[in-house]
Amino acid sequence: MKPLRVLVCGSVLSQGIGGVRRHNAEILPRAARILERHGGALTVLAGRAGIAFELPRSIAVLPSDVPPRPVLARAWRESAALEACLRSARSQGSSFDVVHTAHLPAPRGLSAPFTLLLHDLKSVLAGDASSLRRAVGRRVLRDAAERAARIACVSRTLATELERYAPNAAGRVGVVPNGCDHLPLVPRVPDAAGFLLCVGRIEPRKNVELLVRALALAPDLPEVHLAGDAQREHLERILALARELGVDGRIRVLGVCDDARLAQSYGSCACVVLPSLREGFDIPLAEALRAGAPIAASDLDVHREVVAGRAELFDPRSPQDCVRAIRAALAAAARAADPAGPRPLGATTWDEAALALVALWRSAASVPST
């Protein structure tokens, strides 16, 4: 097998805790090991703000002055910095075969084919964005889809959405899902007092407000533990709503949890509740699935794909339906760990995800640059 050299655009790898950072921290070292086994290598072009997680020594990290923001400044400098790396490598007799990026806008004017990995379509679908911003997002997306040698989506649902908004991507889209095996596994020993666990950044699309309203409707439900980073203003609105509805004493804000504490929470909660309005994958859903915790999640196409029948689903606009699903999940707790039926997308390991990504790179390496 021909050695493959990949240059990863890392100008936004300074991002905070979340699914995108988890994806990169888990998949890049594994992909590098796969490349190395066949004589290849992975190099990361870091941005001005650096990289927020540790990479193995075998991955070369090149510095650059590319800023993570503003977006237009990043895109302009990013393309120039990537092309400079490509030229330098060629002059030294060690050309890169593929450039990989996982954010938009996609780089332009590269002398090597590039791959694009999409985590979501928030630039197109964000309900809290202006119509102008969504229109610009569609244009940027279609442009990237037209020029990318191959495109990876973290779910088949996302791939289908992409082809709807960018039909020019058809035939060049593959699925590279998130893995589920990054947290330590702990025995499922539900806490005697019981609590509902909601994991994820507290922001509008995570729809935590619905869960607060569900608590107000059902005094019998356990308290809620919120684990994850938060948009400060949105968290304040959530807590104000909880006070208004008289349930503030039944909500605990845990903030960002390390892996050990998060694994323990999945092992001891009564039920995991994920009321998101929009997701490209939803890593906490995969984490809960692997931990064997009961799950109540919003009825999204991607949630159906990730759990394959191993969760109670509810209308993310209905607090009443959320209450119903939580009660059903609590009453049928064993269903979450039932191995019968098709393998959920959320059961993918990071090793499997890395193999899929490397296969995508190999496919892209044979495509002429545009």
Query: Domain ranges in the chain?
Result: 5-179+349-365, 195-347
Q: Which two tokens stand for residue 117?
A: 């990995």
| Enclosing H/E stretch for 121 | none
Q: Can you give the pLDDT at residue 125? A: 67
Query: Is residue 195 a contact partner of residue 224, using CB atoms and an 8 Å limit?
Result: yes
- What confidence category does residue 272 fall into, taking pLDDT thresholds of 50, 70 and 90? very high
Query: Is residue 114 a contact partner of residue 363, using CB atoms and an 8 Å limit?
Result: no
Query: 5-179+349-365: which CATH number, 3.40.50.300, 3.40.50.620, 3.40.50.2000, 3.40.50.2300?
Result: 3.40.50.2000
Q: Would the pTM of this model clear 0.85, i.e. be above it?
A: yes
Is residue 306 predicted with pLDDT exceeding 70? yes
Q: Which two tokens stand for residue 127?
A: 């309900």
Q: Can you give the pLDDT at residue 193? A: 84
Could you read off the pLDDT of 55-106 as tens digits, one per residue?
999 999 999 999 999 998 999 999 999 999 999 999 999 999 999 999 999 9
- What confidence category does residue 127 fall into, taking pLDDT thresholds of 50, 70 and 90? low
Query: Is residue 169 a contact partner of residue 152, using CB atoms and an 8 Å limit?
Result: no
Q: Which two tokens stand for residue 165?
A: 């908004």
The counts of H helices and E strands in the chain are 12, 13
The neighbouring-strand residues paired with 5 are 41
Residue found under tokens 């990071």: 350
The CATH fold assigned to 195-347 is Rossmann fold (3.40.50)
Query: Is residue 115 a contact partner of residue 99, using CB atoms and an 8 Å limit?
Result: yes
Is the fold of 5-179+349-365 the same as that of 195-347? Answer: yes
